[in-house]
Every structure is written in C-alpha cells, then in structure tokens.
Amino acid sequence: MSILVLAEHHDGALVGATAHVVAAAQAIEEEIDVLVAGEGVSAVADAAAKLDGVSKVRVADNAVYAHQLAEPMSALIAELADDYSHVLAAASTTGKNVLPRVAALKDVAQISEIIAVESPNTFKRPIYAGNAIATVKSDDALKVITVRATGFDAVAEGGAADVEAVDVVVDNTQSTLVKEVLAESDRPELGAAKVVVSGGRGMGNGENFKLLEGIADKLGAAVGASRAAVDAGFVPNDMQVGQTGKIVAPDLYIAVGISGAIQHLAGMKDSKVIVAINKDEEAPIFQVADYGLVSDLFEALPEIDSFL
C-alpha cells in the first residue's frame, strides 16, 4: 500500500507546504503519490514531480476542480483513496476543508494536524491549543491525515517522478466560486516566511503597523499579529499568528508589543529564534524569547530600522 499526498497549489504554482507533507509521508515509510487537482495545473505537477521521495504524480486537470472546492475535491479523493493506506494533506485552509469530508465519505476518522509520526498508525498532534500533545492511534484501514507543515522539514528537490493523468471527473451542482480576494502583498506568505515580524495590542492602532512593515521589508519578512491586535481591529484576521490563526515556525520571529498569551505562543513557539520587544518586563512572551528587549516599542522600532 502507498500514500496519497494532496498537493497544495495556488495561482498555478506549487505551495511550499507540500514538500513538508511529503516529508511527513516519508516518515511513514511507504510509496508516495502526489495528487494535483485543479484546472491548468501542469506546472504544478512538474514542480511536484521534482520533490524527493515522490514516486508518481497524478493529475486531475478539469474545470470542476478549479478553486479546489470541497465538494468535487472530496469526491475525487474518495474515489482514488481505495488504492492507498494513507491520504495526507497540509493542514492549510484547503486541506482542512477537504480532508474531513473525504474521511467521512470513507467512514473513517481523520487525524488532524500531526506534528510527528510514531509509526504508520500512530501519530502525535497538539490538542488544547498546543497545551498538550496527544499520541493517537488509528485502527482504520485508511488513515486520513492533515499535517502541520512546521512539524516536518521540507524534502529537497531533485526527483523526477512520473506524471500521469487521472480521468476521474465528478459532478458539482452544489457549489460555485463567486470570488476570491487575496491580500496583496510583496512580502512572503506568513506560513512560508523565513522571518516574521508580529505586532500585538501594544501597537496601539493599525496605522502603527507601518513601523513593522518598514522593518519587514528590509528583512524580507512577513508581518503577523496577535489575536488581541486582530480583535482590536488593527489588522485583518489573516495576519493572525496563533492557535486559531496561522502556525508559523520561521528562523526568526520578532514579537513586538505582544504579551504572549498562550494562544499566541502556540502559533509561534517552534520558531528557531524568538525576539520579544515589550515594555512590560513581566510579559509572558519573555519566557519563550531567546532575546528579550524591555523597551517602548515606539522608541525601539525606529532604532532597529536604522540599523538594518
């Protein structure tokens, strides 16, 4: 038996998370196929074929899979799933939308957001906003799993897997895309950035996030925010780092004016180096920071900017 990995792609390009999911699949030690479903996705398939460890790329290229709506996607995967022991996808909004639907269609449980593979049927996953780690075992014949990308280092590129077409076409009369509005930004995506600069309630208002953006641009960083900053209406929800937002693990995470609620820590504590800037020296963020600077952020940020 082998593993089917659902490729994550956007705007005709493979999304980095896929390489992490393939790494998770490799940890299960089976043969790995990648499914690329969408419309006009040959470039995505070619990119997926280069990922180390991939045996075969299966391409379902049809208008019904455009925008990867859950209803046709889950029907497609459910149809293919009988050939596999595991179906894996990134714990992205696409993976989370589609895979539980696949699991229910196959009458099996889903294991969400695994961060480690213990054996082909036993996995570790965070629960209670990352305040506990559960080890769970599935006895289902088919394991349907979403993978937290930060839990696995991406596989390298160097492979040359076969690419073959899948001719399964399903009907979809239930859902249509009306529009997609993506935040326009030259900065890297939060989940993929090597450096993330995040602001919290201490930023005071949305305007002040410009201070972070200047620094982020110089560092090639993404800009994030705590839930408090989102709740206060400073910035949109898609910038939120935390248990209920994005989970990030960049090489460098700079938390500015963020107190460090457990909700937020759960979303960034796996970052390699954490810097905290906060005027409250008791802020819990300092307990996880490698480098802490107790300072008024409105003084510290311009100074940092001048050093870069």
Partner 1 sequence: MKVLVAVKRVIDYNVKIRVKPDNSDVDLTNVKMAMNPFCEIAVEEAVRLKEKGVATEVVAVTVGPKAAQEQLRTALALGADRAIHVESDERVESLGAAKALAKLVEEEQPGLVILGKQAIDTDNNQTGQMLAALTGLPQGTFASEVVVSGDGTDGKVQVTREIDGGLQTVELTLPVIVTTDLRLNEPRYAKLPDIMKAKKKPLDVKSPADLGVEVASKTQLLKVEPPAERQGGVKVSSVDELVDKLKNEAKVL
Residues within window 122-181 making contact with partner 1, judged by CB under 8 A = 122, 126-140, 173-181
- 244 interacts with partner 1 by CB under 8 A: yes
Q: Which lies closer to partner 1 via its Cβ, residue 55 or residue 121?
A: 121
CB 90 within 8 A of CB 191: no
- 94 interacts with partner 1 by CB under 8 A: yes
Contacting range for partner 1; rule: CB under 8 A; set: 22-30, 50-58, 205-213, 273-281: 273-281
Task: Map residue 210 onto helix, strand or coil.
Answer: helix
CB 202 within 8 A of CB 293: no
Q: Which amino acid is at 104?
A: A
Contacting range for partner 1; rule: CB under 8 A; set: 35-43, 81-89, 151-159, 288-296: 288-296
CB 184 within 8 A of CB 203: no
Tokens matching residue 244: 């209920």
- 116 interacts with partner 1 by CB under 8 A: no
Number of chain positions touching partner 1 (CB under 8 A): 88
Q: Which lies closer to partner 1 via its Cβ, residue 158 or residue 176?
A: 176
Q: Which lies closer to partner 1 via its Cβ, residue 50 or residue 269?
A: 269
Q: Report, in Å, the least distance between residue 160 CB and partner 1.
A: 29
Q: Which lies closer to partner 1 via its Cβ, residue 1 or residue 273?
A: 273
Q: Report, in Å, the least distance between residue 239 CB and partner 1.
A: 10
- 119 interacts with partner 1 by CB under 8 A: no
Contacting range for partner 1; rule: CB under 8 A; set: 28-36, 70-78, 149-157, 198-206: 70-78
Rounded-to-integer distance, Cα 5 and Cα 28, Å: 12
Rounded-to-integer distance, Cα 2 and Cα 25, Å: 9
CA distances, 23 to each of 3, 143, 232, 270, 305 (Å): 12, 16, 38, 18, 37
CA distances, 248 to each of 25, 145, 148, 182 (Å): 20, 19, 10, 19
